[in-house]
Amino acid sequence: MIYLFQILNGIGLGMLYFLLAVGLSVIFGLLQFVNFAHGAFYLLGAYLTFDLTQRGFSFWAAMPMATLIVAGIAAAIEALLLHRIYKLPHTFHILVTVGLALVIQELVIIAWGPLGGSVPAPEGLQGVVIAGDFIYPQYRLFTIGFTAVLAGLLWWLLEGTRLGAIVRGGSESPSNMALLGYNTMRINTAVFGFGAGLAGLAGALAAPIRGVEPFMGVEALSVAFVVVVIGGMGSYTGALVAGLLVGIVQSVMTTVWPEGARLMIYLGMALVIATMPRGLLGRA
Amino acid sequence: MHPLDKPAVQFGLAVLTVAVLPLFLTSGILATEILIFAMVVAACNLLLGYTGLLSFGQGIFFGVGTYAAGICLTRWQVPVPLVLAGSAILGAAIATLVGWLSIRRQGVYFVMLTLAFSQLFYFMAYTFSGITGGDNGLLGVPRPSLGGAELNAPWSYYTYVAVCFLAIFAILVMVTQSTFGRTLIAIRENEGRAAAIGFPTRLFKIEAFAISGAVTAFGGALHAMLIGVAPLSNIEHHTSELILIMTIIGGSSSLFGSVLGAGFYLLLADALSAVWPRWLLLLGLVLVAVALFLQRGLWGLVERLYDAVLRREPSPTKPAEEH
Amino acid sequence: MLNRRSFLTTSSLAAISLATPGLLGRASAQGAALKIGVPVPISGAFAANGKFATIGAQMAAEEVAKAHGIEVSTLDLDTEGKPATAVRKVQDALAQDGIKLFAGGILSSESLAMGKEIERGGGSFMTTAGADEITGPDCNKATFRWSVPTFGAIDQTVRPIIDALPEAKRWYTITPQYVFGDGLLNAAKAVFAEKGIEHVGNSYHSLTDKEFSGYLTNAISAQPDVLLLLNFGAQSSDTLRQAVSFGLKQRMTIVVAWASGLEQFEALGPDICEGVYFGAQYWHGADTPLNRELVARVQEKHGFNPNYSFAGSYIISKLLLDAAAKAGSAEGSAVIGQLEGLKYTGLTGEEEIRAADHQVIKDYYLLKGKAKDAMAGKDDYVDIISSGKSFLSAEQSGCKMTA
């Protein structure tokens, strides 16, 4: 019975992990860019939500505002800074984004202090759902539903629209896109802002669950990397499947062998790369 | 080849560094830490600059060396030279394993694989606390003694480390100048061609990993003796990141660049952290600036200065990746 | 070379070369003045503690300077939360600045490593870190510890709650997997066995976990009456927040055995704290003469109430500096001689430094979160339920002091 509960809980976790990772995956898929600042955008999203709700905005207003602000900041960073280094080796992607992550993290401490804080779940979602022995917070249930809807929307956006086709076309052959008259630079900026905005949204959604503290981005980044690598870089469905997988494994392991949960996850990550280099569902 | 890249010049600069550090630094501890990281970073450079492998796993080997020294010295009182040799061998063995598994993949997948291994080894060190001391680490690691006297004074241990550093640096310079080293560069430039000529490219890469791992573990062992403890943080992925950042800042086109990178980073961190609690912000800006304006690292800056002052004619411009 | 001292912080980049401990041209200000090193995490994941600890030490230095009419300066050493950095900074302070007094070390791993180094360097060190080994198997002549170890923390929280809630027979524990967590867990198990409590389960987690829903699901299915959290800092805040969101406050009593006090309550907010029991080393509302005095002075000077990081750092700095001033020397042996066996009026009332293992014998507090509308001021998060001293004897602690 407990395993069933853990699997259900793992699905809830996994949906959050998916949201966290999918932005990273999109950025990598289109830009071939390794973004170590992804966790910092998650951090920023969470803190903006914290700040806005403290100022009296309702969570429902704060969440989209935080997402948009993060997306805007990220797009600005891309347009001013990152687009200059796409062509350089990955080493420099890592250097710049590690630097950016440090800058954002320290700015967060300067702006909001080192202590952290709590964000209350929105009105009406503060209770729990009880089914027999299983208890689950309403807010977590909401995030599952919300993320599922969002996942559908993303799928449609990336796979079913002209925009998605442009994005995918840009990733496969930037020069062709340029020939067709598309401004790849502008597409890149938009995609980076979009991916980072998703991380900001994940942060906003996670804030009422985890609270906020200045180092939450570090853990989020490592989770996002694991999910993206297992799922396959640039793969939307892969991020979903791997996010759920990691969430469920982590949750079930807390009952079976808690000390080994992380070992299992990283061993799994190594195994996947060693045997299936493109990840479970990556595009070849 | 740039005149500064000649092996004799490189080694001369290393000797100069060892001689000059005591003149400019009052802290023997900091000077010793710079030399230890200088060799560790040079070993990372052997992979990054010479073989084109961006390894996020250097912290594994550093931690392994730290723990090997910690265990051998606190539990069994093994003589220090044996400990250092043993750490290097163990580092080489583990690096061979990690390298053998990692080089199956290329580009970002290789990076991610080394990252996964680095996390894996961290959690192993954390979980098997009976061996590693877990979060508390292994305490009371003694300094080596020479002729019956323990090298407790910072500058006397500095001398010990300096000798090790020069020996290691000389070996690394020789490795990069050998046929083996030239082949590594050939592999980096064009792996397909190198394989077509008949080089066992995978074997060469694994060997580069082994050498890098041996040197890194050796440095880890020296570090444990420096600070008297084998801490869990030495095997964290943060250590890997640090080594990599120092390598890139120094510039990956020359071994001495790594010495510059280690020295620059450690001195900067020490100075900034004393001035402002939020010094990581400034460090972040430095990293961004290096990526934007100093893509050949500090070494590239040195080369440019040398050309400007001594040659007065610009050397043909080289792309960032070229040696 | 005043730049590194905490009372003169400069952000001028030009000052960097001068401030570098290593670079030439740095003369340490030798002389009659007393100097104390404050090795605490100022950057990194425990930066919040370091921030208050440095102000606390500063205040102690000013007071001692005034009381004894001497010059006292503090030197902040950013350990970055890493033992390697901590040790290097301490070695430098010993060798370069001639500093022999050290007050700090919030993390156990740092404190254990620094203690060894300070002993080797002939100094003295007082810490607030939690690991039992500090005044247990890894004790040494130079190291003193102000905070109550795991045994007392459990005895002063678990025992009074068992007595107050006789019908709560089933307890579940969530424990970080390392020596400190095991210390708390073993102490709790001993009390459970003695009191006939059923320990219905335990979940271990790693020090990097931030997601506790899985562990909470385990806890729920064991149907305990009391949930005892044995982790600390950000992890205990995360666990508590998530436990509250799972509605556990309505279904069981929640106890956080090792809370950090005010700084943690501020991060959690009153809604989460309400009704939860917390064990704490210090609370600014404690009704003791020295504490009332301290709170008044900190309010006047800084406009906030002292939290645990502040108060701990304040008292350990003050003890060390007073001892050195009285001994007329900052040398380790002189200061240690003054401190061993010292009885004094401390922040928690009468306190005593046990000579055999260098453990300070002091009160540990059991607090309970108040409802938001019952709070008298913005920091009035809790009521003190009880307080008292519980310690293993020096022999039981496993300390063998080598002279």
Confirm whether C35 is domain-assigned: yes
Measured between beta carbons, which residues in chain A are less than 8 angstroms from residue B281?
A: 102-103, 106-107, 110
| Over residues C192-202, mean pLDDT | 93
Mean pLDDT of chain B: 87
Confirm whether A280 is domain-assigned: no
The count of domains in chain A is 1
pLDDT of residue A178: 63
Nearest residue of C to residue A4, measured between CA atoms: C217
CATH of the domain at C234: 3.40.50.2300
Would you give the DSSP letter of residue B307? I
Residues 6+ positions from C188 with CB-CB distance below 8 Å = C154, C158, C171, C173, C199, C228, C230, C257
Q: Which two tokens stand for residue C339?
A: 């401190």
Q: What pTM was computed for the model?
A: 0.89
Confirm whether A281 is domain-assigned: no
Asked whether the beta carbons of B52 and C43 are under 8 A apart, the reply is no
Residue A85 CB neighbour total at 10 angstroms: 18
pLDDT classification of A135: cutoffs 50, 70, 90: confident
Measured between beta carbons, which residues in chain A are less than 8 angstroms from residue C251?
A: 135
Asked whether the beta carbons of A280 and A261 are under 8 A apart, the reply is no
Identify which of C268, C136, C82 has the alpha carbon closest to the alpha carbon of residue B66: C82
Mutate to test the interface with A, among C52, C55, C213 (most CBs of A within 10 A): C213
C167 and C99 co-located in one domain: no
Which residue type, as a one-letter code, is found at position C176?
P
Residue among B101, B237, B287 minimizing CB distance to A99: B287
pLDDT single digits (tens) A171-214: 566 666 666 666 777 888 988 999 999 999 999 999 999 899 99
Confirm whether C74 is domain-assigned: yes
At B142, phi and psi to the nearest 5?
-80, 160
Sort A274 into a burial class: Cβ within 10 Å, 0-12 / 13-18 / 19+: middle
Q: Do the Cβ atoms of C84 and B223 come within 8 Å?
A: yes
Nearest residue of A to residue C271, measured between CA atoms: A120
C100 and C123 co-located in one domain: yes
C62 and C198 co-located in one domain: no
Q: Do the Cβ atoms of C203 and A254 come within 8 Å?
A: yes
SS3 C250: helix
Confirm whether C397 is domain-assigned: no
Spatial distance between the Cα atoms of B220 and C101, rounded to a whole number of angstroms: 29
CATH of the domain at A46: 1.10.3470
d(CA A112, nearest CA chain B) in Å: 13
Residue among C208, C234, C247 minimizing CB distance to A137: C247
Which domain range does residue A158 map to?
2-275
Confirm whether A247 is domain-assigned: yes
Structural domains of chain B sorted by starting position, each given as residue range(s) with its CATH number in brackets: 3-311 (1.10.3470)
At C78, phi and psi to the nearest 5?
-75, 110
Residue C289 C-beta-side C-alpha neighbours within 13 Å: 5
pLDDT classification of B321: cutoffs 50, 70, 90: very low
pLDDT of residue A169: 62
pLDDT of residue B135: 82
pLDDT single digits (tens) A217-245: 988 998 898 898 888 877 788 889 999 99
pLDDT classification of A158: cutoffs 50, 70, 90: confident
Asked whether the beta carbons of C40 and C77 are under 8 A apart, the reply is yes
Spatial distance between the Cα atoms of B136 and C131, rounded to a whole number of angstroms: 9
| Over residues B78-105, mean pLDDT | 92
C131 and C263 co-located in one domain: no
Q: Do the Cβ atoms of B33 and C88 come within 8 Å?
A: yes
Measured between beta carbons, which residues in chain A are less than 8 angstroms from residue B112?
A: 225, 229, 269, 273
Spatial distance between the Cα atoms of B83 and C87, rounded to a whole number of angstroms: 22
Paired sense of beta strands B229-230 and C101-103, if any = unpaired
Which domain range does residue C135 map to?
13-148+287-361
Q: Is the pLDDT of residue B58 over 70?
A: yes
| Over residues B222-248, mean pLDDT | 91
**Cβ–Cβ contact A113 with B under 8 A:** no
pLDDT of residue C282: 95
Confirm whether C231 is domain-assigned: yes
Nearest residue of C to residue B269, measured between CA atoms: C20
Instruction: Region of B228 please: left (phi>0), alpha (psi -120 to 50) or beta.
Output: left
pLDDT of residue A234: 76
Q: Is the pLDDT of residue B136 over 90?
A: no
pLDDT classification of B66: cutoffs 50, 70, 90: very high
C126 and C156 co-located in one domain: no
d(CA C104, nearest CA chain A) in Å: 18
Q: Do the Cβ atoms of B280 and A102 come within 8 Å?
A: yes
Measured between beta carbons, which residues in chain C are less than 8 angstroms from residue A135?
A: 220, 246-248, 251
C308 and C159 co-located in one domain: no
| Over residues A27-31, mean pLDDT | 81
Q: How far is CA B148 from the centre of its chain?
A: 31
Mean pLDDT of chain A: 86
Confirm whether A142 is domain-assigned: yes
Identify which of C259, C207, C245, C4 has the alpha carbon closest to the alpha carbon of residue B122: C207
Residues 6+ positions from A43 with CB-CB distance below 8 Å = A104, A105, A108, A203, A212, A214, A216, A217, A220
C371 and C311 co-located in one domain: no
Q: Which two tokens stand for residue C97?
A: 């600045």
Cα–Cα distance list, B305 to B222, B294, B315, B323, C204 (Å): 34, 13, 11, 18, 57
Share above pLDDT 90 across residues of chain B, in percent, rounded to a whole number: 43
Spatial distance between the Cα atoms of B259 and B271, rounded to a whole number of angstroms: 18
Residue among B237, B283, B295 minimizing CB distance to A92: B295
pLDDT of residue C308: 93
pLDDT of residue B312: 59
d(CA C341, nearest CA chain A) in Å: 36
d(CA C240, nearest CA chain A) in Å: 10
Confirm whether C129 is domain-assigned: yes
Chains with 3 or more CB pairs under 8 A to chain A: B, C
Chains with 3 or more CB pairs under 8 A to chain B: A, C
Q: How far is CA A121 from the centre of its chain?
A: 20
pLDDT classification of A282: cutoffs 50, 70, 90: low
Confirm whether A166 is domain-assigned: yes
Q: Do the Cβ atoms of A114 and C48 come within 8 Å?
A: yes
Measured between beta carbons, which residues in chain A are less than 8 angstroms from residue B252?
A: 91
| Over residues A33-49, mean pLDDT | 94
Identify which of C110, C138, C23, C57 has the alpha carbon closest to the alpha carbon of residue C318: C57
Residues 6+ positions from A145 with CB-CB distance below 8 Å = none
Q: Is the pLDDT of residue B190 over 70?
A: yes
Q: Any idea what the Cα angle at residue A243 is, between residues A240 and A248, rounded to 5°? A: 125
Share above pLDDT 70 across residues of chain A, in percent, rounded to a whole number: 91
**Cβ–Cβ contact C84 with B under 8 A:** yes
At B237, phi and psi to the nearest 5?
-65, -20
| Over residues C26-31, mean pLDDT | 39
C192 and C212 co-located in one domain: yes
Spatial distance between the Cα atoms of C381 and A164, rounded to a whole number of angstroms: 52
pLDDT single digits (tens) B142-151: 888 877 777 7
Asked whether the beta carbons of B212 and B95 are under 8 A apart, the reply is yes
Cα–Cα distance list, C193 to A149, A231, C170 (Å): 50, 48, 12
C102 and C213 co-located in one domain: no
Residue B313 CB neighbour total at 10 angstroms: 6
Sign, CA torsion C258/C264/C265/C268: negative
Measured torsion, CA atoms of residues A137, A141, A143, A149, in degrees rounded to the nearest 10? -170
C383 and C247 co-located in one domain: yes
Residue among B109, B120, B284 minimizing CB distance to A277: B109
Nearest residue of B to residue C109, measured between CA atoms: B136
| Over residues B191-206, mean pLDDT | 84
The count of domains in chain C is 2
C99 and C191 co-located in one domain: no
Confirm whether C128 is domain-assigned: yes
Measured torsion, CA atoms of residues A168, A173, A176, A178, in degrees rounded to the nearest 10? 70
Mean pLDDT of chain C: 87
Spatial distance between the Cα atoms of C307 and C315, rounded to a whole number of angstroms: 12
**Which string of DSSP letters, residue by residue, matches C86-126?**
HHHHHHHHHHHS---EEE---SHHHHHHHHHHHHHTT-EEE
pLDDT classification of A168: cutoffs 50, 70, 90: low
3-state helix, strand, coil in chain A (%, to 5): 75, 5, 20
| Over residues C21-32, mean pLDDT | 40
Identify which of B80, B27, B2, B48 has the alpha carbon closest to the alpha carbon of residue B274: B27
Spatial distance between the Cα atoms of B173 and B4, rounded to a whole number of angstroms: 13
**Cβ–Cβ contact C193 with B under 8 A:** no
| Over residues C55-61, mean pLDDT | 93
Which residue type, as a one-letter code, is found at position C362?
K
Sort C172 into a burial class: Cβ within 10 Å, 0-12 / 13-18 / 19+: buried
pLDDT of residue C16: 40
Q: Which two tokens stand for residue A38?
A: 């992804």
Residues 6+ positions from B174 with CB-CB distance below 8 Å = B7
pLDDT of residue C20: 43
Q: How many A/C residue pairs have CB atoms within 8 Å?
A: 114
Asked whether the beta carbons of B147 and B153 are under 8 A apart, the reply is no
C144 and C162 co-located in one domain: no
pLDDT of residue C19: 42
Q: Is the pLDDT of residue B298 over 80?
A: yes
Confirm whether A91 is domain-assigned: yes
pLDDT single digits (tens) B153-183: 888 899 999 999 999 999 999 998 888 888 8
Measured between beta carbons, which residues in chain C are less than 8 angstroms from residue B223?
A: 84
Spatial distance between the Cα atoms of B170 and A75, rounded to a whole number of angstroms: 47
Confirm whether C8 is domain-assigned: no
**Cβ–Cβ contact A91 with B under 8 A:** yes
Residue among A85, A225, A267 minimizing CB distance to B112: A225
| Over residues C137-146, mean pLDDT | 92
Share above pLDDT 70 across residues of chain B, in percent, rounded to a whole number: 95
